Structure 1
Amino acid sequence: MRLMKLTMYTDYSLRVLIYLGSKPEGKLTTIQEISDAYHISKNHLMKVTFELGKAGFIQTVRGRGGGIRLADLPQNINVGTVVRRMEDDFHLVECFDREHNRCPITPVCGLRGVLGKALHAYLAILDEYTLEDLLFNREGLREILHT
């Protein structure tokens, strides 16, 4: 179980957005470029970029000279929204999953309320930030990522 930990899928999603945000506005990038920069499997990134496109965070341009780019300005892409969209669940403990909960103390346990409050605070903090906030050092990112 992962407690307050993002999946690799969400981590890669945020990294893709950071990479694209470090590029000059509107410039197309290939999945291969991102794969090379982060040393991440191109196959993993294809799945991630597909979902990011479905969610409206990136645009895909097909054909010769195609690629991907941000679908909106970095200041309009909310980190909390991205995390909620890309994470598969937020069941910190068994009782958060009503369908599969078998814990016998659920009706009288205070843990669920405490962890629910912690999860709410965690997401509220992420909601305070946009992709623009993560790009405060674009020059450093461009240097490291070779964008």
Structure 2
Amino acid sequence: MRLSKHSAYALQVLVHLAVHKERRSTIREIADRYGISRSHLSKVVWELGRAGHVETVRGKNGGIRLARPAKSIRLGAVVRPIERAIPLAECFPRGAGACRIASCCRYRPVLAEAEKAFFAALDRYTVQDLVRRDRIREGESRGMEPTGPMRSH
């Protein structure tokens, strides 16, 4: 499976906010840092706010920050609502009826199983796990060893 840009941006925003949890970040700051369209990022942040993952503050000292600790935000909970809006195949979601071979199709159960496994894997990890992996990767690139075992869920 392949993540949409929308999902990838959502995860990037959450990791950025987790790394910079001591302060609010702005859409402009995140967009400029990662080369993302501000317009697209605004939509992503709006959805993250609606889902309860981030809180937004308007005004001069406004910005966005995580609404909950990074260790409590499961990747599946972030990605699932976004990716479910994008069908895996013409016959997804159920009842779409766009497939001409639906009555004799053998792919649907296999694709449904693959989609279930994909989200189950994402459900095992949190935003904090991504932050930790980023820090380990940065440390390894400078010749440093990771400190302690990686968490898995």
Query: In structure 2, how many angstroms separate the alpha carbons of the residues matched to 1:9 and 1:49?
Result: 10
Secondary structure of the corresponding residue to residue 87 of structure 1 = helix
Match 2:74 to one of 51, 66, 78: 78
RMSD between superposed Cα atoms in Å: 2.0
Q: CA deviation at 1:125?
A: 0.3
Which residue pairs with 2:149 in the alignment?
A: none
Aligned pair in 2 of structure 1 residues 27, 110: CA closer, same or farther (>3 Å)?
A: same
Q: CA deviation at 1:43?
A: 1.4
Alignment: residue pair count? 137
Query: In structure 2, how many angstroms separate the alpha carbons of the residues matched to 1:88 and 1:104?
Result: 22
Aligned pair in 2 of structure 1 residues 97, 85: CA closer, same or farther (>3 Å)?
A: closer
Match 1:55 to one of 51, 74, 83: 51
Structure with more relative contact order (C-alpha pairs < 8 Å, separation 6 or more): 1
Secondary structure of the corresponding residue to residue 91 of structure 2 = helix
For residues 1-147 of structure 1, the aligned pairs below 5 Å read 4-23=1-20, 25-87=21-83, 89-136=85-132, 137-138=134-135, 140=138
Query: In structure 1, how many angstroms separate the alpha carbons of the residues matched to 2:82 and 2:102?
Result: 28
When normalised by structure 1's length, the TM-score is 0.84
Q: Which amino acid aligns with 2:51?
A: A
Aligned pair in 2 of structure 1 residues 29, 77: CA closer, same or farther (>3 Å)?
A: same
Secondary structure of the corresponding residue to residue 94 of structure 1 = coil
Q: Is the 8 A contact 1:12 1:48 kept in 2?
A: yes
Query: In structure 2, how many angstroms separate the alpha carbons of the residues matched to 1:5 and 1:71?
Result: 27
Deviates more, 1:37-46 or 1:131-140: 131-140
